[in-house]
Chains A and B, each alone.
Chain A
Amino acid sequence: MRLLLVEDYPPLRKSVLRGLREAGFAVDATGDGREALWYAESNEYDVIVLDLMLPGLDGLNLLRRLRDQGRATHVLIVTAKDAVADRIAGLNAGADDYLVKPFEFDELLARVQALVRRRYHRKNPVLTLGALRIDTSTQQVERGDDTVELSAREYALLEYLAMRAGELVTRSDVWEHVYDFHSDATSNVVDVYVGRLRRKIDREGESSLIETVRGRGYILRSGPP
């Protein structure tokens, strides 16, 4: 899942960025309002974590602009403004959630994950696809009774495919949602990762869970074929 982190206090941005990346998210981060607007307009983010007091362009105006452009990106406001009026203003400007500083990182993470579930119309943090069981809250993947060990990038790919299980997912979709600007990705990196993922989650003698649609993309089967 791809996130945009907008926070103007460098130490906070740095640690949250690290934590989110470790949780398997592809994250772009900035501390400037105008830059954040440019990021948000040029990419399809799943969730934007937005501070309100920003240099350049303040968070609420940034949010209103995005909503005026018809963007449906889920937005979590993270701010030191704790007054009820501020929360109401934030939600009324089009935010989906509001978190007051100081916060525990785990709470921020849980809220971001909740917004991701809403983004893909899921209620259950555990995705079950046949014998495959993906717990998005703990990032544990099981196949039957076996635990599947995945790298962060592999997990991110699997989670994205699983969220859109049964749908055709194009390579550029994967590109957009699993990689951030800083990824050292080459053109065939998606195919490479899909290959690795197949080796880890598929069982010998069974057809692959990830179906390749030639020239277009992939479909993660939601049930037995």
Chain B
Amino acid sequence: MKSLRTRLLVAMTGSFALLLAVFGLILDASFEYMLVREFDFYLETLAKTLAAAARIDADGLTLKLVPEAIPDVAAVEGELFSQYWNAEGTVLAKSTNLGAHELPRRLAEARGPHVETFELWDGRRARAARFEFFVGPAAPVPAATSAAASRITLVVARDTTDLESHVREFRWLLLGAGSATMILGATVLVLVIRRSLRPLGDMAARIGALREDDLGARIPTAALPDEIAPLVQRLNELLGRLEEAFARERSLTADVAHELRTPVAGILSTAGVMLSADRTPADYREALEDVRRIARRMGSMIENLLMLARLDSQRARFQLETVALRRVVATCWQSCQGKAAARGVTFENAVPDNLCCVSGRSGLTIVLANLLENAAEYANDNGRIWVTARATDGMIEIAVANTGCRLSEAQVARVFDRFWRADASRSNASLHVGLGLALVRRIVASLGGTVQAHAAGGEFTVRIRLARHD
């Protein structure tokens, strides 16, 4: 039942069949009711006619008319029976076709005019109409008989075999007509559904024709039905987002290639120049040191990139544990210490000794190491770097700050972008891969925190707010 077409067809055919069945039942009931009413009316009329023709005299009841004598009655299919009782319950007369049998007495004993169904002695079903009437003698009658002869109960019965067969026939007819209508209806439905769903097929073909290298393509929605248009609209929006994502991916790849080309050129050129002539061991050593420095830089850039990629694909999850912040900051500073000391930059770890937070230690370490490295690189000569932290309502706030900031407001807003370099601000150029702060933002986000950068009065501050998780 996966096909929408099948589902629609089944649902609609089912509903249609149900409606048809209900309609058929109503029709059948109405038809039977009408037939029975007609039947009963006939019986009652016949009873009245027979009653009108009955006379009573000294010999008892005289029937001037018997059902068989009425031409219309003779034409009626099915047997007609009649029986007369007097007030005492004595059978006065009965139709000859009853033979030795009698109509059930209880039919005569009921009150008022009455029609009911009963079973004949041979198992056939029949309907009987009761009619009471008073008759007087056509000629003067003896007093002895007149009193007893006054009230007569007449029961006219007719077997309903015929009626039932009519009803059955009608049922078959109804069933046949209903089935034919069903088949015809289903066929029409199949065609209608196929026609209505054609836009879906067309759309599938269009979507199938989309190529991954042409994400700029959009499916036109103008000619589509209202139900499908929103779907296609969403799909187009998705295509738009995909296109953007791919463009970002492409520009990232281009940026990576660009950032890696320069150090590779450095290695190639260093090696090429060194190999162009015989050198002293000291020269070789220096060149190898240079190459190692470049390679380390490239390595850390690749690590950062991989970390970013993992974070982007949500594969990296940091294990939560209790982190003593002051110690982490001190550890992270160690790798920057040499570089900072050489330029006379001082460092102050102002994180309270007892301040702990439950967070991802490895993530937090990468964040702080990157921030400190960044600070050590951009702080002015003889400048200052300091780290503070405090606990506030369920959050831990860590701030890493350095002097010597020459970034403008607009530049500060962009420091977390990948591969952004504050080129214009650097006089002493050293390769800064522009990934460190992007990584910081990404990790802080995955630790459930926020990060902001501020520049004021020559001081650059990165403020991290982390949930404490405790």
* Residues of A bordering B, CB below 8 Å: 8-12, 14-16, 18-19, 22, 31-32, 53-56, 58, 78, 80-83, 100-106, 108
Q: Which residues of A contact B294 (CB under 8 A)?
A: 11
Beta-carbon contact of B272 and A19 below 8 Å: yes
Lowest 7 A-B CB distances belong to which pairs? Answer: A105-B272, A19-B273, A80-B261, A8-B429, A101-B265, A102-B264, A102-B265
Selecting from B215-223, B305-313, B383-391, B419-427, the interface stretch reads B419-427
B276 pairs with A22, CB closer than 8 A: yes
In the bound complex, residues from chain B placing their C-beta under 8 Å from that of A12 are 262-263, 265-266, 269-270
6 A-B residue contacts at CB 8 Å? A11-B270, A14-B270, A15-B287, A55-B429, A80-B257, A104-B269
Contact A105 B273 (CB under 8 A): yes
Give the residue of A14, A80, A105 whose beta carbon is less than 8 angstroms from that of B262.
A80
Tell whether, in the assembled complex, residue A103 and residue B423 are in contact, meaning their CB atoms are under 8 Å apart: no
Best-surrounded residue of A11, A12, A80, A101 (most CB of chain B within 10 A): A11
* Interface residues as binary, B264-300 with A (CB distance below 8 Å gives 1, 0 otherwise): 1111111011101100000000010010011000000
Determine the chain B residues whose CB is within 8 A of the CB of A55 once the complex forms: 423-427, 429
Q: What residues on B are CB-neighbors of A31 within 8 Å?
A: 429
Question: Does the CB pair B427–A103 fall under 8 Å?
Answer: no
Q: From the candidates B269, B270, B427, B431, name the one contacting A32 in the complex (CB within 8 A).
A: B427
Q: Is B166 part of the contact surface with A, judged by Cβ < 8 Å?
A: no
Partner of B290, one of A11, A32, A78, A82: A11
List of B residues within 8 angstroms of A106 by Cβ = 272, 276
Contact residue among B276, B290, B427, B430 (Cβ-Cβ distance under 8 Å from A14):
B290
Q: Please give, as numbers and ranges, the residues of chain B lying within 8 Å of A16 by CB-CB distance.
A: 269, 273
A101 touches B429 (CB 8 A): no
B118 to chain A, nearest CB (A): 104
User: Shortest CB–CB separation between residue A86 and chain B, in angstroms?
Assistant: 10
A30 nearest CB neighbor, chain B only: B429
Q: Does B258 contact A (CB under 8 A)?
A: yes
Chain A residues closer than 8 Å to B272, beta-carbon distance: 15, 19, 104-106
A12 and chain B: residue at smallest CB distance: B266
B residues sitting closer than 8 Å to A (CB atoms) are: 254, 257-259, 261-270, 272-274, 276-277, 287, 290, 293-294, 423-427, 429-431
Chain A residues within 8 Å of B290, by CB? 11, 14-15
Chain A residue contacts of B430, Cβ below 8 A:
10
What's the minimum C-beta distance from A52 to chain B, rounded to whole angstroms? 11
CA distance A108 to B277 in the complex (A): 17
Given known pairs A55-B424, A80-B258, the reply for A108 and B429 (CB within 8 Å) is: no
Complex: A32 Cα to B429 Cα, angstroms: 8
Q: Give complex CA distance A19, B273 in Å.
A: 5
Q: Is the beta-carbon distance between A56 and B424 smaller than 8 angstroms?
A: yes
B262 touches A54 (CB 8 A): no
Q: Do A104 and B268 have beta carbons less than 8 Å apart? A: yes
**A18 near B427: Cβ-Cβ < 8 Å:** no
Q: Give the chain B neighbours of A14 by CB distance below 8 A.
A: 270, 290
B427 CB to nearest chain A CB (Å): 6
B421 to chain A, nearest CB (A): 8
User: What residues of chain B lie closer than 8 Å to A108, measured between beta carbons?
Assistant: 269
| Known contacts A55-B427, A101-B262; 7 further A-B pairs (Cβ under 8 A) | A9-B265, A10-B430, A12-B263, A12-B265, A12-B269, A16-B269, A105-B269
Most chain B CB inside 10 Å of its own CB: which residue of A12, A16, A54? A12
Closest to A17 in B: B273
Q: Give the chain A neighbours of B265 by CB distance below 8 A.
A: 9, 12, 78, 80, 101-103
Which residues of chain A are near B427, meaning CB under 8 Å?
32, 55-56
Q: Which of A19, A54, A81 contacts B258 (CB 8 A)?
A: A81
Instruction: For the complex, give the distance between the alpha carbons of A32 and B258 in Å.
Output: 19
Q: Chain B's nearest CB lies how many Å from the CB of A142?
A: 20
CB distance from B424 to the nearest CB of A (A): 7
CB distance from B39 to the nearest CB of A (A): 98
A100 to B423, CA, bound (A): 20
A80 neighbours in B (Cβ, 8 Å): 257-259, 261-262, 265
Closest to A78 in B: B265
Contact for B266 among A9, A54, A81, A104, CB less than 8 A: A9
Please name all residues of chain A whose beta carbon is closer than 8 Å to the beta carbon of B254 when the two chains form the complex.
83
Q: Is the beta-carbon distance between B277 and A102 smaller than 8 angstroms?
A: no
| Chain A hits for B287, CB < 8 A | 15
Is A9's CB under 8 angstroms from B258's CB? no
